[in-house]
Amino acid sequence: MKKIMVILADGFEEIEAIGTIDILRRCEFDVVIAGSDSNCVTGAHQIKVSCDKLLSELNPKDFHAVVLPGGMPGSTNLRDSATVKNAVLTVYNQGGIVAAICAAPLALAEFGLTEGRNITGYPGVEGKFGNCNYTGKTTESDKRIITGRGPAAVFEFAAAISEALEKPASDVLRGLLYPSTR
């Protein structure tokens, strides 16, 4: 079973995190919720989430993908963390998928992963995504980098991650009554 790490930092966007985790678990991935600094992380709208592990307790080499939810200041907290940077680059450099939604491509830009790529994200933040081609699409996939525009993109974002890991998500989306063409 392929493993996916979802990293939460204080100020994360709850819909993006929980929706993505839920859909990926329904797709039968082993999804581990990793707290960047704490086992209990508070979202941007004051919802507290209990994480499975601290990020520092995990070996990024054990994962096929890493997901960064957006939100503020969650995205900047992810961007400013050396531990998050190490985890993301380790997964990517071993051939894994890196996914970020909403404002979280800020972290990918800081880690050097947006250069020359097609990237989407939250409107108004795109000027901080580095030297990339901002498309504004709901989701974007470019060379193992998957990005989503914002909370409403969760279904397509999670499906793109699932499909990049070679598991179609169409049955799961249909079961959730999502009106998709996937």
Catalytic residue among 27, 40, 51, 102: 102
State the Cα angle at 121 between 21 and 45, rounded to 5°.
Answer: 55
Token digits for 13?
């966007």
Contact of 32 with 93, CB cutoff 8 Å:
no
Number of separate helices (H) and strands (E) present in the chain: 6, 11
Active site residue 40: no
Contact of 118 with 85, CB cutoff 8 Å:
no
3-state secondary structure 133-178: EECCCCEEEECCEEEECCHHHHHHHHHHHHHHCCCCCHHHHHHCCC
Distance, in Å, from the CA atom of 140 to the CA atom of 98, rounded to the nearest integer, reads 12
Q: Which residues are tagged catalytic?
A: 102
